[in-house]
Amino acid sequence: MKEQIQEILEEARRSIPSCESDKDIEELRIKYLGKKSSLSDLMSKIGTVPKEERPQMGALLNKAKKEIAQLIEQKKVVLHEKEDTSRARGLDVTMPGRPLTIGAKHPLYQIWEEIEDIFINLGFEVAEGPEIESEYYNFDALNTPSWHPARNPQDTFYLKEGKLLRTQTSPMQIRVMEKFKPPIKIISTGRCYRVDKMDPSHLPVFHQVEALLVDEGVTMSDLKGALDSFVKRIFSADTLSRFRPHFFPFTEPSAEIDILCINCNGKGCKLCKNSGWLEMGGAGMVDPAVLEEVGYDSEKYTGYAFGLGIERIAMLRYGISDIRKLVTNDLRILMQFQ
């Protein structure tokens, strides 16, 4: 019986690779593996084999069957591949499909929307205000001393009529507080202007987001918490931030906000000028004088404010080192932000 099995197997090995069509292969499948095949016939006669040889014969038969089945499958694949390429005369799947263009939002506005959404999710309202402002809202109401250099025409754009282009989005905070009683929880976003020559880190037109929260019992912890939540969401969950004492006319105490350099993780690099920290913006507890100016009881209410540059955040997020790239509107740049 052993010889018979071997014989069948040899024959199959010869005949299967030489068939030409699905039909041939199916005939061979019936011949070798079908119910009336010689292998099946042998299988049914296994009882005639001496008892001690039976397991060995069974194993041989199964092995032969398996090999033949495998040969048939392989041959089928080969046949189909042939057929596919011949059938594909009308189709080339590598040719481009109908081009449907998609554009992109400007990277700065992508970040702006993201920032707005973070604050909206934190329960802030978004307040917009005029860019052409009065000196009162931009400086006086914000407790800016008359001698403060920011008021100079070397720093601030003035109109011929005497108004100015806001240098920060803070005037909107005054406008909101004038109109509404606490609690106040807003961000003001938008364009701001400062007299600056255009260079890799300055533009005369830039965008800011400022947050303001005024309520009973607001503490510096609330400020730090809000800022931490923000930087962790806009950069990454492990971004560290720190407060550095500073001076702003409308906050007391005031601080500058730094985040641990996202490029070198604090080790020091070109981006952070080897300091390990990146400056992000200003913050502080709203000066009681500002609250009094809008008629709030500064004993009852406290508040915090902080401001961040949107360009700065966009540059850090995308790794843009020259701020002017954000206003060139070169498609070679814009197309990267699809």
Partner 1 sequence: MKISYNWLNELVPTHLDIDEFCEKLTMFGLEVEEVVQLGKNLENIVIGKVVSVEKHPNADKLSLCKVDVGNSEPLSIICGAPNVVKDILVPVAMIGAKLGDFEIKKAKLRGVESFGMICSENELGVSDEHSGIMIIKQDIEPGTPFADAMGINDNIIEVDVTPNRPDLLGMIGVAREVAVMLNTEYEHPEITFEESEVKTKDEISVIIEDSEKCPRYCARMVHGITVKPSPSWMQRKLIASGLRPINNIVDVTNYVLLEYGQPLHAFDYTKIKDKTIAVRTAKDKEKMMLLDDTELKLHSDNLLITDAEHPLALAGIMGGLDSSINDNTKDVIIECAYFDPRNIRASALEYGLQTDSSYRFERGMDPNSLIEVIDRAAQLMQLTGGGEISSGVVDCYPHKIEPKVLPLRVSRANSILNAKMSADEVENYLNKFEFATKKTSEDTFEVTIPTFRPDIEREIDIIEELARCYGYNNVESYFWINRIDNKQKRTVARLAKNHLISLGFFEVNNMSFASPDDLDALNISDDDFRRKVVELANPIGEQFSTMRSTLIPDLLKNTALNLSYKFENFKLFELNRIYLKEREDTFAEPTYLTGVIVGEFYPFYWKEEQRATSFYDVKGVVESILSKIHCTKNITYKVSNQPYYEKNSKADIFLDEKKIGSCGIIKDDVLKSFEIKAPVLLFDIDLSRIIPLYNEKDIRFKEIVKYPPVLRDIAVIAPSDIEVGTIEKLIKSVGPNIIKDVQLFDVYTGKQIKQGCRSLAFNITFQSETSTLTDKYVDKLFDNIVNKLLREHQIELRQE
Partner from partner 1, Zn ion, none binding residue 195, C-beta < 5-8 Å depending on class: partner 1
Q: Alpha-carbon distance 55 to 64, whole Å?
A: 14
- CB of 189 vs partner 1, minimal distance in Å: 9
CA atoms of 246 and 283, how far apart (whole Å): 9
CA 153/CA 111 separation, integer angstroms: 31
Residue 76 contacts which entry, partner 1, Zn ion, none (Cβ below 5-8 A, type-dependent): none
330-333: long-range contacts (C-beta < 8 A, 24 or more apart)? Answer: 333/107
Residue 12 CA: distances (Å) to CA of 1, 68, 98, 208: 17, 7, 49, 79
How is residue 202 annotated by DSSP?
B
Does position 134 interact with Zn ion (CB under 5 A)? The reply is: no
Report if residue 334 touches Zn ion, rule: CB under 5 A: no
264 binds Zn ion (CB under 5 A): yes
Residue 273, token pair as written in the block = 């000028």
- Shortest distance in whole angstroms from residue 16 CB to partner 1: 43
CA pair distance 150, 139, nearest whole angstrom: 9
List the interface residues with partner 1, window 60-99 (CB under 8 A): 95-96, 98-99
Cβ atoms of 209 and 189 closer than 8 Å = yes
| Binding flag, residue 113, partner 1 (CB under 8 A) | yes
Residues 285-304, one symbol each (x = binds partner 1 by CB under 8 A, - = not), give --------------------
Which residues here bind partner 1, judged by CB under 8 A?
95-96, 98-106, 108-109, 113, 116, 123, 125-128, 130-132, 153, 157-163, 165, 176, 179-180, 183, 185-186, 191, 193, 195-197, 203-205, 326-332, 334-335
Which residues here bind Zn ion, judged by CB under 5 A?
261, 263-264, 269, 271-272
